Amino acid sequence: YHMKEDGWVKVESTDVSDLLHQYREANQ
């Protein structure tokens, strides 16, 4: 799952770990 402005949405991608990394980077 990936955090969006409208809440949690399922990410249809194999790069979930990369998306999570980007999410954490954006919230530092």
Tell me, what's the pLDDT at 19? 78
What pLDDT does 1 receive? 52
In this prediction, residue 17 carries a pLDDT of: 77
- List, for residues 1-28, the tens digit of each pLDDT value: 556 666 666 666 556 778 788 888 998 8
pLDDT at residue number 9: 62
Q: How many structural domains comprise the chain?
A: 1
pTM of the model: 0.34
CB 27 within 8 A of CB 2: no
Contacts of 23 (CB under 8 A, 6+ apart): 2, 3
Q: Which domain does 17 fall in, by range?
A: 1-27
Number of Cβ within 10 Å of residue 16's Cβ equals 13
Contact (CB, 8 A) for 2 and 19: yes
pLDDT of res. 15: 63
